[in-house]
């Protein structure tokens, strides 16, 4: 199974050919509560009034993995490890990665910085 990062969700809704092909070939794509929040924030800040409802309907097609206490512990390991190596990435992406690792899932993303997280399988599209 695979977890869709925020950039994948955006690319998919924008009908990026690579994202569409990956989604068609990969059953049961999931996402994280953090990616859902980022996605909905982007919709909320849109100037188009119909975007937020469309985003909610769109997200309903993805099982959403919760960020919980176990994921919080994984996040602390990721963030502190990256800090020690001098290579922090965005806190949101660290939280997304922690959730994927907590549920033993690969992350689907174009963002190459996920490869700096030990143990995280990153699938590009």
Give bridge partners of residue 47 from the DSSP assignment. Answer: none
Instruction: Report the run of H or E that residue 21 belongs to, with start and end.
Output: helix 17-25
pLDDT in tens, the chain (125 residues): 799 999 999 999 889 999 999 999 998 899 999 999 999 999 999 888 788 888 999 899 999 999 999 999 999 999 999 999 988 899 999 999 999 999 999 999 999 999 999 999 999 99
Instruction: Report the run of H or E that residue 94 belongs to, with start and end.
Output: helix 91-102
The total of other beta-carbon atoms located within 10 Å of residue 81's CB is 15
This prediction has a pTM of 0.92
Burial 22-43 (b: 16+ CB within 10 A, else e): bbeeeeebbbbbbbbebbbebb
Domain ranges of the chain: 2-123
pLDDT at 88: 82
Residue 115 and residue 105 in contact, taking contact as beta carbons nearer than 8 Å: no
pLDDT at 50: 83
pLDDT at 102: 98
pLDDT at 47: 83
pLDDT at 7: 95
CATH topology of domain 2-123: Rossmann fold (3.40.50)
């Amino acid at each position: 199974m695979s977890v869709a990062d925020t950039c994948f969700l955006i690319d998919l809704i924008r009908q990026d050919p690579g994202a569409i092909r990956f989604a068609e070939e990969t059953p049961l794509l999931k996402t994280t509560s953090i990616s859902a929040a980022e996605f909905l924030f982007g919709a909320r800040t849109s100037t188009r009034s119909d975007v937020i409802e469309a985003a909610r309907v769109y997200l309903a097609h993805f099982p959403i993995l919760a960020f919980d206490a176990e994921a919080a512990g994984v996040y602390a390991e990721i963030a502190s490890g990256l800090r020690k190596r001098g290579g922090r990435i965005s806190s949101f992406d660290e939280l997304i990665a922690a959730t994927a690792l907590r549920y033993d899932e690969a992350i689907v993303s174009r963002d190459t910085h996920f490869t700096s997280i030990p143990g995280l399988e990153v699938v590009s599209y």
